Amino acid sequence: MIKSNEHKFTKQQIQELLEDCLNKTLGEIDKNNVFGRTKKNPKITGIAGDVIEQSVFGYAANSDAAPDLNIDGILTELKTTGIRLSKKNPKEYEAKEPMSITAVSPNTITGEEFPSSRFWHKLAHLLLVYYLYASDKTVLASEYANFFVKGYQFLEFSEEDKSILEQDWLIVRNFIRSLNNDESRYPEISHLRDKLLFIDTAPKWPHPPRFRLKRTVVSNIVQKHFNGSLEQLPKSYNTFSEIETKCHEITSKYKNKTVAELMTEFSIAGKIDKAIGERLVVRMFGGTSKKMHDIELFNKIGLLGKTIVLTEKGRRTEDMKLFRINFDEIANIDEAFDNSDFFDYFAENQILCIIFEEHDNKDFGKNTFLGFKRLSFSDEFIDLNVKSVWERIRELVIYKELKDMPILDSKGNQRINKTGVPQSAPNFPKSSEGLIFVRGDSSDSTKKPEHVNGISMYRQYIWIKGSYLSQKMDEKDFI
The pTM is what? 0.88
**CATH fold label, 7-227:** ECO RV Endonuclease; Chain A (3.40.600)
Name the band, by pLDDT with cuts 50, 70 and 90, for residue 36.
very high
Q: What is the pLDDT of residue 5?
A: 54
Q: What is the pLDDT of residue 314?
A: 64
| Range with the largest mean pLDDT of 167-176, 272-281, 421-430 | 167-176
| DSSP letter, residue 423 | P
Three-state DSSP at 425 gives strand
| DSSP letter, residue 369 | E
The mean pLDDT of 402-429, rounded to a whole number, is 87
Q: Which tens digits make up the pLDDT trace of 88-104?
A: 787 889 999 999 999 99
Name the band, by pLDDT with cuts 50, 70 and 90, for residue 69.
very high
Distances in Å between the alpha carbon of 45 and those of 35, 51, 141, 294, 344?
11, 12, 7, 34, 20
Q: What's the whole-number average pLDDT of the chain?
A: 92
Q: What is the pLDDT of residue 86?
A: 87
- 130-144: b (≥16 Cβ within 10 Å) or e: bbbbbebeebebbbb
Q: What is the pLDDT of residue 63?
A: 61
Range of lowest pLDDT (59-68, 83-92, 236-245, 430-439): 59-68
The length of the chain is 479
Q: Which tens digits make up the pLDDT trace of 416-453?
A: 887 777 888 999 999 999 999 999 988 777 889 999 99
Q: What is the pLDDT of residue 1?
A: 40
Region(s) of the chain under CATH 3.40.600.10:
7-227, 240-376+467-475
Q: What is the pLDDT of residue 316?
A: 63
Provide DSSP, 229-240.
Answer: PPBPPSS---SH
The CATH number for 240-376+467-475, chosen from 3.40.50.720, 3.40.600.10, 3.40.50.300, 1.10.150.130, is 3.40.600.10
Give me the sign of the Cα torsion angle 412, 413, 414, 418.
Answer: negative
* CA–CA separation, 132 and 180 (whole Å): 44
The mean pLDDT of 204-211, rounded to a whole number, is 92
The mean pLDDT of 148-164, rounded to a whole number, is 97
Element (H, E) at 211: strand 210-213
Distances in Å between the alpha carbon of 404 and those of 133, 433, 446, 453?
33, 18, 16, 10
Q: What is the pLDDT of residue 317?
A: 64
**Residue from 350, 120, 328, 104 nearest 216 by CA:** 350
